[in-house]
Amino acid sequence: MQNSEIYINQEFTKLESKDYVNAIIEFNKAIMINPNDAPTYLGRGMAYKAQENYSKAISDLNKAIEIDSNFGRAYHMRGDLKFHLEGKSGAYQDWREAAELGYKESYEMTKDHCKNSNLIFNA
């Protein structure tokens, strides 16, 4: 029986070993089986980011957030990409959203990179 979890385990193993091309192939298989799994899009987005294919990475993170609007890690990762591409102004909103969803790493990023911001969080 094919199961998207089988591919997810394989793809994260490939991601950890920096085998990004094959990780993306495995993520694609998992998406074909279950196109509504937000962590799969996050993982594939991480692989695209590692390949410096930022437009595909952001597209996958957008899809992960579309599927699960409470997925703090996806907002955080998208914020990291925006920071890399656009600077603080692009990243801050996503980091703030992730922090408000309880993703502590985003709260720390915002404190570190946006010290002069007048925006206040509830995290």
Alpha carbon distance 68, 97 (integer Å): 13
Determine contact, residues 41/65, Cβ cutoff 8 Å: no
Residue 123 has pLDDT above 50, yes or no: no
Q: What pLDDT shows up at residue 83?
A: 87
Q: What pLDDT shows up at residue 119?
A: 46
Question: What digits encode the pLDDT tens for the residues 16-64?
Answer: 778 889 889 989 999 999 999 999 999 999 999 999 999 999 999 999 9
Domains of the chain: 1-60 (1.25.40.10), 69-116+119-123 (no CATH)
Question: Helix and strand tally (H, E) in the chain?
Answer: 7, 0
**Other beta carbons within 10 Å of 60:** 28
Mean pLDDT value of segment 80-84: 89
